Structure 1
């Protein structure tokens, strides 16, 4: 996929590899906002291998699990073509066995996919400085109380989403269509569309994809699990 940002000489370059497209795009937006040059967004280790052959990347964020394979199985090939790239493993399972296997494979850092974007960035910055980050950190929930200084507009708006609207947003984050979520919620498609439109209006966006990306950027939902994170 075409990178979202143009690389500058000063910006650390990073490539993101995950088979959840919305997660990849939302994380890439967060990285770009934080000053990173996103030089690639790919869906599989095979595509990542091709990108790393073609472009230099200082850092790589890669999911642990892919259909039929894992990132750890690909690490020898990835490191062979990009020995200077520092790899950070994204996973929902920060268990000792995963950390040990990752370190053995050459992974330099680990981030829980349920963490807020800021926590993932913190891991990436530490790895970029040359540290090895292998800590078992539980995802932190977002305190989204209205009026708290420093909160994003999306976090403040989250408090005004109804329980139904929150359910709709989490289902959209899991990739469900309007028809699917209507059936799952036991409502008509017309009612489901009404709930979706209300979510879009409150978040100030124009499409379901934008709503999920905006929510993920601000730690409202996990696009990996669909879990509501904002309290």
Structure 2
């Protein structure tokens, strides 16, 4: 699977020992894969990643202490070369896009069979991206329905993030929904919305939507 004779080192991150044991047993049966360590939550994952510098991390998302999205973001800021492959039960759009924004290279559901997991590790090891078929279908559907983000020429005073948030506002999303989709705190979203209203010189979201539509969005 690896293009060199050096084994691919893998860090297993999941809060369920049974899942980690199953993955360890699977990966130990493959000659050029080596399980370098395990972590039970996002904070442990960050520590282990810094110490072990694995080639690949199999990352669960829903964990105590710190979730897999935050852990992925932290780890890749320090070690951008590590390939992070999400292995989770979660298949909602918010989780998938949050993982992609955090820098994960792959997204598998825990129902994936052993062959699929091993193939995904190989793909991620070569710097490519891979998604479970149900996730790939969701992505295709999402991009087919996606509205364009406002171009920079419209409202040049807005930052890229503010244009992204304004786009989501025109799609009828609440601050809470925007916070979840962009993996931001509600307070941060609220601050961005205030800045948007101020820069557009409007008093509420409805007027902001009207201005955005006049500029050609939606």
Same fold (TM over 0.5): yes
Do residues 22 (structure 1) and 18 (structure 2) align? yes
* 1:115 paired residue among 96, 112, 115: 112
Q: Which runs of 4+ in 1 moved over 6 A?
A: none
Gaps in structure 1 of 5+ consecutive residues: 1-7, 139-231
Gaps in structure 2 of 5+ consecutive residues: 136-218
Aligned partners of 1:100 and 1:37: how far apart in 2? 29
Alpha-carbon RMSD across the aligned residues, in angstroms, is 2.0
Number of paired residues?
Answer: 131
Do residues 133 (structure 1) and 124 (structure 2) align? no
Aligned partners of 1:48 and 1:73: how far apart in 2? 10
Q: TM-score, normalised by structure 1?
A: 0.52
Is contact 2:56-2:125 (8 Å) kept?
Answer: yes
Query: 2:45 — aligned with what?
Result: 48
Residues 69, 52 of structure 1: alpha-carbon distance in 2 compared, 3 angstrom cutoff: closer
Residues 102, 56 of structure 1: alpha-carbon distance in 2 compared, 3 angstrom cutoff: same
Cα drift, residue 12 of structure 1: 0.7
Do residues 12 (structure 1) and 8 (structure 2) align? yes
Aligned partners of 2:72 and 2:90: how far apart in 1? 18
Aligned partners of 1:76 and 1:102: how far apart in 2? 9
* CA deviation vs aligned residue, 1:75-132 (integer Å, no higher than 9, x gap): 2211123221010111112333322211111000011112222211111111112211
- Secondary structure of the corresponding residue to residue 137 of structure 1: helix
Is contact 1:95-1:136 (8 Å) kept?
Answer: no
Query: 1:106 — aligned with what?
Result: 103
More helix by share: 2
Aligned partners of 1:53 and 1:125: how far apart in 2? 22
1:144-159 paired onto structure 2 within 5 Å? none
* CA deviation vs aligned residue, 1:14-69 (integer Å, no higher than 9, x gap): 10000000110110111121231110111111111111111221100010101254
- Secondary structure of the corresponding residue to residue 134 of structure 2: coil
1:117-196 paired onto structure 2 within 5 Å? 117-137=114-134
Aligned partners of 2:74 and 2:5: how far apart in 1? 27
Query: 1:97 — aligned with what?
Result: 94
